[in-house]
Amino acid sequence: MPRVLLIEDHQTVRDGLQLALSRHGHTVDAVATGEQGLARLRTTTADVVVLDLMLPGMDGFEVCRRIRSTGDLPIIMLTARNDDMDVVAGLEAGADDYVVKPVQPRVLEARIRAVLRRTGGEPRPSGTEPVVERHGELTIDRAALVVTKNGAPVGLAPTELRLLLELSGTPGRVLSRQQLLEAVWEHAYLGDSRLVDACVQRLRAKLEDDSAAPVYVQTVRGFGYRFGPL
């Protein structure tokens, strides 16, 4: 069963979400502080972290950064309001998705299932040779899910990798933020383009020599993004 680490300081919310997610078949470890959450990750495994941003002591932004600095564990953040600054800061810290409080358990469950699907990897095609693409200094092995630049591996989180694979699959074609939300995040309706923009920012920081003048992930103002070099 998928194991969820829930970091939420409000006991009523924590207990309610733990019960609801358990009923959906998840094993849920629930803690009240960021420090407890980080300590739990050192001793147990988790498939996804559900993280409240407004925690006592070490806040959720710092917890998110620390988790992301050590690996690719998917993170869904909980925010008390749909505040642009909070959401963008959380996404830039490395979160994969977010849910606004008050949390509807069915919405959180759907987001967990979606993030687990897209971070679960893609199997190597049987009986076929690896599909290796070369784009200037960048090499993308779609079968092995390995990206290198000038021969050196580029460490990408699963959501970043899926975004790169989606864009690079049709070089030069402009994909709207909504198209990318549906393909990468599985948000078919009322998707939040900030998810795309923040992930693009993280992707550029890892791929580009100069993020301010990107070669690979290019913005087409008013439309979306396209993959280069053309």
- The DSSP secondary structure of 71-120, one letter per residue, reads ----EEEEESS--HHHHHHHHHTT-SEEEESSPPHHHHHHHHHHHHHHTS
Range 10-26 average pLDDT: 94
Q: What is the mean pLDDT of the chain?
A: 88
- The DSSP secondary structure of 127-171, one letter per residue, reads TS---EEEETTEEEETTTTEEEETTEE----HHHHHHHHHHHTST
pLDDT value for 190? 54
Mean pLDDT highest for which of 61-65, 85-89, 107-111? 61-65
Residue 17 banded pLDDT, cuts 50, 70, 90? very high
pLDDT in tens, 122-144: 433 434 444 788 888 999 998 88
93 vs 42, 56, 63, 212, 224, CA distance in Å? 20, 18, 9, 19, 22
Indicate if the pLDDT at residue 189 is higher than 70. Answer: no
Domains with residue ranges and CATH for the chain: 3-118 (3.40.50.2300), 132-227 (1.10.10.10)
Range 24-45 average pLDDT: 95
- pTM comes to 0.75
